[in-house]
Amino acid sequence: MKIIFIRHGKTSGNLEKRYIGKTDENLCDIGISTYPDTEIVICSPLKRCVQTAEIIYPDKKIVTYNGLKECDFGDFEGRNYTELSDNPDYKKWLESMGTMPFPNGEAHEDFVNRCVSDFEKSVSDFKSYDKIAYVIHGGTIMSVLEKFAVPKKSFYDYQVKNGGGYICEYDDGKIYILEEIL
């Protein structure tokens, strides 16, 4: 099965380098590249993903999965590095290499498990399809690829820019990256 992972287009929060997780922002002006065709689109229910999917695949069925939402950044939500630089909790989180839970937010392990679970469910739900596009969040893509991509790499090795992603082959529980979408 071919799988296309696409990170949503840019929002004003992305432009300001803010932690935008559960915040449901609209897209700002985005440049749309050419993306591979697909039979169906799996999507996070947040506006920025749904809007991106509707722009890229206007004639395709879009199915949303709540578990594919971005991480809940808790007290860091909507803020950027400059605004958080004096925050002791933020300093501790940075020192932990992002492994500590976000204060009043989601733990990394819980986030990854949620994303992986709904990815597996969606693949099972649409196993009769040959091509599936996922329009989701950067952290969601990173979670899924960290778990399934071959060769194995770390979470942060799969960072993608807004509108970027990967064209992959999914076979027997493994994801093989064929091409990066820039």
Q: What DSSP string describes 96-135?
A: TTT-SPPTTS--HHHHHHHHHHHHHHHHHHTTT-SEEEEE
Contacts of 126 (CB under 8 A, 6+ apart): 40, 42, 63, 132
Average pLDDT over residues 163-173: 96
- Residue 108's φ and ψ, nearest 5 degrees, are -55, -45
- Please indicate whether residue 99 or residue 7 has the higher confidence score (pLDDT): 7
For residues 45 and 25, give the distance between their C-alpha atoms in angstroms, rounded to a whole number: 11
pLDDT of residue 33: 66
Other CB atoms within 10 A of residue 90 CB: 19
Residue tagged 């605004």 (tokens): 83
Give which of 10, 19, 68 is closest to 44, Cα–Cα: 68
pLDDT of residue 74: 97
Average pLDDT over residues 60-81: 97
pLDDT of residue 27: 85
For residues 164 and 136, give the distance between their C-alpha atoms in angstroms, rounded to a whole number: 11
Of the options 3.20.20.30, 3.40.50.1240, 3.40.190.10, 3.55.50.30, the CATH number for the domain spanning 2-181: 3.40.50.1240
pLDDT of residue 32: 59
- Sign, CA dihedral 103-99-115-11, equals positive
Other CB atoms within 10 A of residue 70 CB: 23
- Residue 143: C-alpha distances to residues 37, 60, 83, 105, 116 (Å): 24, 25, 26, 17, 7
- Residue 106: C-alpha distances to residues 48, 54, 77, 115 (Å): 20, 28, 11, 12
Please return the burial class of 2, using the count of CB atoms within 10 Å of its CB with bins 0-12, 13-18 and 19+: middle
Q: Could you tell me if 52 and 45 are in contact, meaning their C-beta atoms sit under 8 angstroms apart?
A: no
pTM (predicted TM-score): 0.92
Q: Could you tell me if 47 and 135 are in contact, meaning their C-beta atoms sit under 8 angstroms apart?
A: no
